[in-house]
Amino acid sequence: MKKIFYITTILSPVALSLMGIHHARAQAVTDNTTTIHKKSARQIIGSATDGTHHRAASDENEQIIVTGTRDPHQTARASVSPIVVVGAKQLQSTGQVDVRDALTQLIPSMTRSDMNIGNAQMTDAIQLRGLTPNQTLVLVNGKRRHTTADISDYAGPQQGSTPVDIDMIPVSSIDHVEILQDGAAAQYGSDAIAGVVNIILKHNNHGFTAQANNGGYYAGDGFTSGESLNWGTKLGNRGFFSLSADYHFQDHTYRGGIDNRTGQYDNFIMGNPRQERETVSYNMEYNITKDVKFYSFATFGHRNAESYQNFRTPALADSLGLSSIYPNGFSPQLALDENDYAVTGGFKGTKFGWDWDVSTTYGGDNVDIGFYETANPSLMAATGSTPTKFGNIMSYSNTQWTTDAGLRHAFNVPLLAGPLNFAIGAQYRYDTYNINAGSPDAYYGSSTAGEAALAPVDGSHSGRDVTAGYMNVSTRLLPKWQVDLAGRVEHYTDSGGINTETGKFSTRYDFNKYFSLRGTIANGFRAPTLAEEHYTSLEVSPTGAAGILATTSPAARSLGSKDLKPERSMNYSAGIILNPMRNMHITLDAYQITLKDRIMVGGVYNGQQAINAIEADNIILPPGLTATDVSANYFTNAANTRTRGMDISATYLQNLHKFGKIQWDIAVNFNETQITHTGVDGNGNSLLNAQQAAWLTGFTPKNKEIFGGHWFYGKLDVAVHEIRYGHAISQMQYVTGANAYSNSTFLEFVDHPRWQTNLQIGYQVTPQWHLALGANNVGNAKQRKVPTSVNYLGVQNYDYNVQQVGQNGGYYYFQVNYSL
């Protein structure tokens, strides 16, 4: 009853004075990839060429969508599935220079970990509906985007994921983002379990825009700078070429406590990494003839980043034989050097009434992990010297080459109320994943202090072929009744061969212009990634170590590992669409996602058994570790889960006449995951302990609400948004007392709800110049601090894994936009 009252309250007219996820103005789109008529460059609401921030919300200016449908006339508001469209101006109004951070401030069902440890902290991942980043598919102009090679290997809810790093796409290149909040494996294949994020690139044939955003945290650290530009031009009278470039810098933040070993603030592991990123992209289209078009788009991104590891005290340096190098101790830093790239080329056109599209996309990611302010104790003992900076302790790379061919035709069938849209197509993809050893001076003996380098025995080179075919049919059976059916078959050559068949049925009935119902039933799957099948690593802390063993290795087999199976899902959703008055639009979509054989890092082995398995894999552990703080795990099909929730959104455009206009918005997500079955390993032991189970069920807030308004008055605009994060529950490992480093007894810790206020005040100085001053988290809210019994070294005083308000506190910025 309390939940019903709460939902009713937030949907009241007063609560409709709220924040902004609006649908953009109409674009004419001819296919499911990139074609958009030239006139739509100005029709995109909030486009950089119109010199304003206002977005109209009238039905006649609805956004044509290309995600989750192959109907060339489908709009976001009339869609059979829930679609959220976020325009470039909305991303800009958040004050964030990262796409990931901007989207999480706009979409309640989208979350991110506040921070990770190690190299995973330097990859920008997103996730939907409380599932992992691996279960959200990312497209660019409708084409599958390759994932990062940088695996998240540190213990936590994102451990094992190799997501798409969307911040390797310049924010200046983004026209809008379409977010399908529904399962879509039958349309797009593996990974589309929680939903699909489709990034549509700008297609402007003229104009120049630039943005500069600089800011920092209330604490006086974390200086952040983001500069971006976009330029568009015509290709004669036959096409367009749009070029974009971004530069991003972020400095370290520090939110740790006093290290109880030294009594000083000298351990910098808790906080943001330092990173510098440059990205460029282009998007173009050229009409070869009136019936044939060539199109192409590409992105390239380079990132340098450094992330602190735990401080090694003078006593620890001495025990490692490194006191002559580090008499005052040392703070190791992981360094990442990354190059990410993707290029697409294709032809499309119309012949005999059929739309056709043939394209190929090649993309990849190369990651070199370096390590500095460290040393190799074994090398020091054997030779009397050791480097203190290692350019390469391990490296990863992946590639994805995808070729698509599709046909579409609209048949006029007399018995139907609308055209019968029929689409058929095929796809071939070749994936590779490589794990490469570090330099010999890094992996020699017990390896580098703070993070073990990979030896040649840990390397692997893997690949697989993926072939798929799909068919899609949509129509109106009656003037007010839409249906959409999709089916797909896929074959993977790895893991002994994986064959999948997926289907999706969606429908919508519009009773009148005020009230509609929609719903979907679909099954889906996610194939094991090559990283999950072959990855090996060792994380080392001052007191312990955590090893991930390749699933098929003899060491993992001794701990009961089994061959990985694909995840299987069933998605159900039902929604209500309300238009109770002019300029007011409300949607409520409830969903259930059941997942079988979820893949994660599992196994519950620690102590001597874990030590034996790690050493059996030819990994040498450093001396002086606490045996119970050494664990060994592997990727496994750990559990079955059921996720239930609801997405609610409402928008209202209020005309204040001589006092301007206000776009009020509210968006809410309720989400809860339960484990319905936990697997056992080959030794008969549970694959998950209480902490690992909580990573599936507790680290995402039970609800997240975003509400506020954007007021436009002459040249002035003011945006105020409130974000409420619901509570999150975790199981934390004890680090003191009788249960210290226990693998079976944990402390249940509740992060209570938190509120965050975002404010931006903007002024259109001239038609070309717009200035804005803003702050995110005005009240400087932070997570609840953890008890000392689970506060490792006294430094890790926040539960950084939970996807809540975070630990960095308030952030302020100044933003300048120029358009010509």
What is the secondary structure of 163-222 as a DSSP string? Answer: ---GGGS-GGGEEEEEEE-S--HHHH-TTTTSEEEEEEEP--SS-EEEEEEEEEETTS--
Beta bridge partners of 342: 299, 363
**How do residues 182-203 score in pLDDT, each as one tens digit?**
999 999 998 999 999 999 999 9
Alpha-carbon distance 618 to 622, whole Å?
A: 13
Q: Token digits for 30?
A: 């001819």
Coil vs helix vs strand at 536: coil
Structure letter (DSSP) for residue 703: E
Alpha-carbon distance 799 to 777, whole Å?
A: 19
- CB of 70 closer than 8 Å to CB of 472: yes
pLDDT at 62: 66
For the CA atoms of 44, 48, 53, 56, the dihedral, rounded to the nearest 10 degrees, stands at: -10
Q: Token digits for 558?
A: 């001794």
CB atoms within 10 A of CB 177: 23
- CB of 235 closer than 8 Å to CB of 267: no
Question: What type of residue is 575?
Answer: G
Coil vs helix vs strand at 705: strand
pLDDT at 55: 38
Number of H helices, E strands in the chain: 12, 33
Alpha-carbon distance 793 to 261, whole Å?
A: 7
Angle at 51 between CA 49 and CA 53, to 5 degrees: 105
Alpha-carbon distance 256 to 785, whole Å?
A: 11
CB atoms within 10 A of CB 150: 28
| Residues in the chain, pLDDT under 70 | 1-62, 118-121
**How do residues 508-535 score in pLDDT, each as one tens digit?**
999 999 999 999 999 999 989 998 888 8
Question: What type of residue is 115?
Answer: M
Alpha-carbon distance 213 to 96, whole Å?
A: 8
Alpha-carbon distance 636 to 176, whole Å?
A: 37
For the CA atoms of 43, 49, 54, 58, the dihedral, rounded to the nearest 10 degrees, stands at: -10
Nearest alpha carbon to residue 155 among 102, 201, 113, 192: 113
Strand order of the sheet with strand 174-180?
83-87, 174-180, 195-201, 136-140, 143-144
Alpha-carbon distance 49 to 46, whole Å?
A: 8
Domains of the chain and any CATH numbers: 21-206+235-704+729-748 (2.40.170.20)
C-alpha Rg value of the chain to the nearest Å? 26
Q: Token digits for 780?
A: 């400087």
3-state secondary structure 302-326: EEEEEEECCCECHHHHHHCCCCCCC
Alpha-carbon distance 170 to 177, whole Å?
A: 13
Alpha-carbon distance 608 to 602, whole Å?
A: 18
Alpha-carbon distance 370 to 457, whole Å?
A: 19
Question: What type of residue is 540?
Answer: V
3-state secondary structure 496-528: CCEEEEEEEEEEEEECCCCEEEEEEEEEEEECC
Q: Token digits for 773?
A: 């001053």
Nearest alpha carbon to residue 632 among 661, 651, 609: 609
CA-CA-CA-CA torsion sign (530, 532, 536, 540): positive
Nearest alpha carbon to residue 607 among 633, 632, 634, 641: 632
- CB of 281 closer than 8 Å to CB of 228: no
- CB of 143 closer than 8 Å to CB of 361: yes
CA 467 → CA 195, 403, 423, 490, 700, distances in Å?
A: 22, 10, 18, 6, 34
**Global pTM?**
0.90
Alpha-carbon distance 329 to 103, whole Å?
A: 40
Backbone angles phi, psi at 23, to 5 degrees: -85, 145
Structure letter (DSSP) for residue 120: G
Distance of CA 635 to the CA centre of its chain: 21
- CB of 623 closer than 8 Å to CB of 319: yes
Question: What type of residue is 212?
Answer: A
Angle at 512 between CA 507 and CA 513, to 5 degrees: 100
Alpha-carbon distance 223 to 214, whole Å?
A: 7
- CB of 570 closer than 8 Å to CB of 523: yes
Coil vs helix vs strand at 332: coil
Alpha-carbon distance 568 to 500, whole Å?
A: 9
Beta bridge partners of 401: 362, 430
Region of 51 (left: φ > 0; alpha: ψ -120 to 50; beta: rest) is left
E strand spans, 618-659: 630-655
Coil vs helix vs strand at 765: coil
